Amino acid sequence: MKKRKLGKSNLEISAIGLGCMGMSFSYGPPKDKQEMISLLRAAVDRGVTFYDTAEVYGPFTNEELVGEALEPFRGQVVIATKFGFNLSGPDNRPGAAGLNSRPEHIKQAVEGSLKRLRVHTIDLLYQHRVDPDVPIEDVAGAVKELIQAGKVKHFGLSEAGVQTIRRAHAVQPVTALQSEYSLWWRRPEEQIIPMLEELGIGLVPYSPLGKGYLTGKINEKTAFDGSDFRSQLPRFTPEAIKANQAMVELLSQIAARKKATLAQIALAWLLAQKPWIVPIPGTTKLHRMDENIGAVAVELTPDDLREIAVAASKIKVQGARYPEKIEAMTNR
């Protein structure tokens, strides 16, 4: 497994990480715990050293899973987690009370994450979503104190806007920004990626396979379970799925020529954008994980990348990526 560094930080990790959310949350019912522990340990065996979780995934159960699975490898792997939600709403629904990045809440959240992850220090701590009620300087200041106390090593932001990142970085250097980025969500290229390059911040793309769409395994007849959050996304209506097939066809053409899979081409494209980009595809299946890891060996030449760029520029992706209420929480 090749290694990469996130920006100017000294945080070196495998070139492809593993997004763990879907093992417990969002993509249908939670998966069997022992099977997921086996999968996580198989990832370690294959050289994956970067694992992504969050307290809200479950809530809490995903951190517990990751903590149990990776406890034998403490010090050999890097675990990223996130804070930023109230997890006991007035009607006991997780997150019903909305965002909360008040400094005292951050410190409470970190104590819980440390216990569930079975670690003494959190390798990378992200603010999950920007809280408009708390100045980002206060958030960065709270994380800075946690770093000084030895409870956190690196500070990250997720789906934050350009000015927010700059303001946070001035208080406590930001190691990584996690944001959606893939061939069918390229908005970070407009302002975010140039700014990350300028400041020396790494980029961790989540949903690098378009929540499964870029694998070519989804079509307009695909039915999503009510517990699969894609059932609520505008981009996953049957009409949008059908309209966006041009992107799948583009990947298919390149994949056939490279003797690779569509997922491997989509991931290789991301890896080719910048040397400080580390995608975190999620999966619950060993063969899919092996497929994703295989993307590291797929080399896209400058001609390949130009061909993809020209073809992709002619494709207008249909459907919003999130409902308005969720989209409003991003790029603040």
Measured CA to CA in angstroms, residue 168 lies from 23, 117, 137, 138, 161 at distances of: 31, 26, 6, 9, 11
Residue 303's contacts (CB-CB under 8 Å, 6 or more residues apart) are none
Query: DSSP class of residue 245?
Result: H
CB burial of 267-302 (b: ≥16 within 10 Å; e: otherwise) equals bbbbbbbeebbbbbbbbbeeebbebbbbbbebebee
Residues noted as catalytic: 57
Structure tokens, 188: 């970070």
Measured CA to CA in angstroms, residue 123 lies from 53, 58, 176, 177, 278 at distances of: 12, 21, 12, 14, 15
Q: Considering Cα of 1, then 72, then 33, then 106, what sign does the dihedral take?
A: negative
One-character DSSP codes across 166-225: HHHHHHS-EEEEEEE-BTTB-GGGTTHHHHHHHHT-EEEEESTTGGGGGGT---TT----
Residue 130's contacts (CB-CB under 8 Å, 6 or more residues apart) are 101, 136, 157, 159, 160, 161, 164, 329, 332
d(CA 162, CA 332): 8
d(CA 9, CA 190): 23
Helical (H) or strand (E) element with 164: helix 162-171
End-to-end CA distance of the chain: 35
